[in-house]
Chains A and B, each alone.
Chain A
Amino acid sequence: MTLDQALAEARGKYALIIDLNKCTGCRACELACHQRNELPGDMSYIRVYPKQKPDGSPYFLPVQCQHCVKAPCESVCPTGATYHHESGAVLVNDKTCVGCRYCMVACPYDARRYDEEKGIAEKCWLCLDWVLGGGVPACVQACAPGARIFGRLDDPDSEVSQLIASGRAKPLHPEFGTEPGILFYIFPGE
């Protein structure tokens, strides 16, 4: 297979499913993201929130950019720096972002991070350079309990497609109306 063929094959739609029954809240994904993207301070594109089930027992909810189909960050961006990649990932062009932070205000998942140094609002970009080369995002690599399942959404036989089709994997807060396109969750007890 030539490199061109490999790259052509890597093009497609992806999904990242987080199984909250397996997440231990260890925050390895947070740290892996911080290191892989060389982010300042303790910044990470992922935040792990401690939550409680109805019965009072704890669970953890890792949140990052959901790569929404109807992304509010994209529509409020005055420069068009935020855009959709063909893979379904929502990306930020660091050459045209002016750092107005309108996207940060508009994102209901609070998934944007502001880099004071560069004056740019950044976020999870699905480690697309690795993914398009056939790899997986840093957070998926780092997840020790295997709570993060990454795969192709355009292959109906893939694990992620099966989980989403069966209804086990669901979007987080669908009532926000942004239609998460890549991140899905298996909620506790499901």
Chain B
Amino acid sequence: MGQTHWGWLVAIYLFLGGMGAGSLLTAAVVELTGERYKHAFCPTTLIGAGVSGPLVIIGSLLLIFDLGAGKMEPWRIIYMFTHFTSVMTWGIWLLTLFIPVSLLYGLMEIMDNYPGILAWLRRFLKFLPATLPYRSIRRVLAGVGAVLAVGVAIYTGILLSVVRAVPLWHTPLLPLLFLVSAGSTGMGLTIDLGATIAVPDVARRFHALPIIHIVLIGLEAVLIGLVLAVAWLQGGVAAESARLVLMGPNAVIFWAFVVFPGLFYPFVVHAYAIGARRHGFISGILSGAGIVIAGLFLRYLIVFSGIPVAL
């Protein structure tokens, strides 16, 4: 039905790249608003910064694993940095810049929160003066990381949206959808799942976060609706793609793994959290897990439901 050249690995990579970028963005928002410094322990920046690098690294490894000759002869990967008409080349550059920044930022967060950890690394870094402006360095890393994160998240959408041969993908709405979804999955993983487990009994402290999150969830629902509506109204294979998602073989995945757990349920949980200034332990975890699963299956649906133009 859909295109057969790209499969699961690409879908998972787009998901991990987006979620890694979104996790860093979540941490950066809490860092740059100064909210982090109002509490003795801030799980959001710790988890968000901590997981962002590893997630994007795993995604990038999947991308390399999906290559043919580039996997057999890894030195060929160097050529992928050279051809700037290709969105994939931009992506490789963005990933290459994002990974060290996010790793450094994550490392600083971990070392700041757990003084006892990484003793060998601390001994190794002894030469650094104790008076370094660590807070400023962290803020710069968060700021630069956030800019790169937006780039990574948008690029995962542009990668598909430049492909005219697959009308479902060929819309500027797709990069927007992937950006919004990256933000939402990042917050779902970092706050709903991570922070809830890390600090179970605390009322959600930063009241702007559930508001930001519910706006992202709402936007994501609107953008998914728009992408499918635009495809539907185009007719031809684009409409076939939309039918595949809405009522065809992929409809079960769409409604049961994307719409309900990733949009409907989290929307209810966050609406309640905004009103009550807290949400339940279980509902937070379920909302986070649902958003993460939906983020993966949304990309699976887009990749696998893209039907190429007919000859």
Whether the Cβ atoms of A76 and B79 lie closer than 8 Å is: no
Chain A residues near B76 (CB, 8 Å)? 79, 96-98
Separation of A75 and B89 alpha carbons in the complex (Å)? 11
Q: How far is A151 from B155 in the complex, measured between Cα atoms in Å?
A: 43
In the complex, per-residue mask of A89-106: 1 if CB is within 8 Å of any chain B CB, else 0 = 000001011111110111
Q: A79-B76, A119-B69, A119-B72 are in contact. Are A109 and B311 (CB under 8 A)?
A: yes
Answer yes or no: A12 CB below 8 A from chain B CBs.
Answer: no
| Interface positions of A from 114 to 134, Cβ below 8 Å from B | 114-116, 118-121
Whether, in the assembled complex, B252 has its beta carbon less than 8 Å from a beta carbon of chain A, the answer is no
Distance of A101 Cα from B159 Cα, bound (Å): 12
Q: Which residue of A lies closest to B92 (CB)?
A: A78
Number of interface residues of B (CB under 8 A): 30
Q: In the complex the two chains form, what is the Cα distance from A77 to B71 in whole Å? A: 16
Contacts of B70 on A, CB cut-off 8 Å?
98-100, 119
Number of residues from A at the complex interface, CB < 8 A:
38
The B interface is mostly helix, strand or loop, or mixed, namely loop
Complexed CA–CA distance, A61 and B310 (Å): 13
Q: Contact: B3 with A105, CB < 8 Å?
A: yes
**B77 CB within 8 Å of chain A:** yes
- Asked whether B163 is an interface residue with its Cβ less than 8 Å from the other chain, the reply is yes
* Chain B residues within CB distance 8 Å of chain A: 3, 5-6, 66-72, 76-77, 79-80, 82-83, 85-89, 92, 162-166, 308-309, 311
* Other 19 A-B pairs with CB < 8 A, given A96-B76, A105-B163: A72-B165, A75-B85, A76-B85, A76-B163, A77-B83, A78-B86, A79-B76, A79-B80, A80-B79, A96-B79, A98-B67, A100-B70, A101-B6, A105-B3, A105-B165, A110-B311, A119-B72, A120-B69, A121-B68
10 tightest A-B contacts by CB?
Answer: A99-B68, A119-B68, A98-B70, A79-B79, A78-B88, A119-B69, A108-B165, A80-B83, A104-B5, A78-B86
